[in-house]
Amino acid sequence: MKFFVDTANIEDIEKLIPTGFVDGVTTNPSLIAKQGADMAETIKNICSIVNGPVSAEVTATDFTKMLEEGEYLASLAKNVAVKVPLTIDGLKTCKSLREKGIMVNVTLCFSAAQALLAAKAGASFISPFVGRLDDIGEKGMDLIEDIVIMYENYAFETEVLVASIRTKQHVIDSAVIGAHVATLPPKVIYELYDHSLTDKGLKAFLDDWAKTGQSILPK
């Protein structure tokens, strides 16, 4: 499974890159607005330090303007994946951009029917929102499972990018189901490390070693 970092904060991304867990980045207008920086420069900066896809989202809602914005965003860097909403105009834009060889992330997916349309439009990524479905009493992971099975049935090349992840259990469940990508807030990535038994075991090893008075490295 690939990990994308769901943030527009350059410092957060730079801290995570040495871990080897940054396969890409997803942004949206809300995340960029929080940084208070220029949108285009923010996207360019992220693309310059990340090798994988960097999702940059359009804000238009009609096809003509959406396509214009998408082409502009794609011009900022070779690894931009234009993010479009799962609407009729968004899917038309997806098809047009894909015909130009531009990566497209179709976002705000909440049903398997929508995911099927995105795959048929040639989407590079489909972003189903598990957390928001959980919020309204539905099981977000059921949707992920349906999409994964459906895509495998027809050998669609669209990758399932699990979004709106709130917990590390969301990540584990997505991996078990077979989703291709999970986009995670930095906080959740760090939570994946945590386990009380790891901390307890490490302390015991170090305490025992300290009693020997030895050093692994030669003095």
pLDDT tens readout for residues 91-139: 999 999 999 999 999 999 999 999 999 999 999 999 999 999 999 999 9
Mean pLDDT over 76-94 rounds to: 98
Q: Which residues are identified as catalytic? A: 83
Q: 123 in a domain, yes or no? A: yes
CATH of the domain at 97: 3.20.20.70
Rounded to the nearest integer, the mean pLDDT of the chain is: 97
- Asked if residue 32 has pLDDT above 90, the reply is yes
Share of the chain above pLDDT 90, in %: 99
In degrees and rounded to multiples of 5, residue 6 shows phi and psi of -95, 85
Mean pLDDT over 162-175 rounds to: 97
Range of the domain at 62: 2-194
Q: 125 in a domain, yes or no? A: yes
Task: For residue 116, give both structure tokens.
Answer: 């099927």
The pTM of this model reads 0.95
In this prediction, residue 54 carries a pLDDT of 98
Mean pLDDT over 179-204 rounds to: 97
**Location of structure tokens 């291709």:** 180
**Location of structure tokens 């929508």:** 114
CA pair distance 119, 105, nearest whole angstrom: 11
Q: 160 in a domain, yes or no? A: yes
Q: Tally the domains of the chain.
A: 1
Mean pLDDT over 16-39 rounds to: 94
Q: 62 in a domain, yes or no? A: yes
In this prediction, residue 219 carries a pLDDT of 81
Contact partners, residue 183, CB within 8 Å, separation at least 6: 3, 4, 5, 6, 24, 26, 127, 161, 162, 163, 165
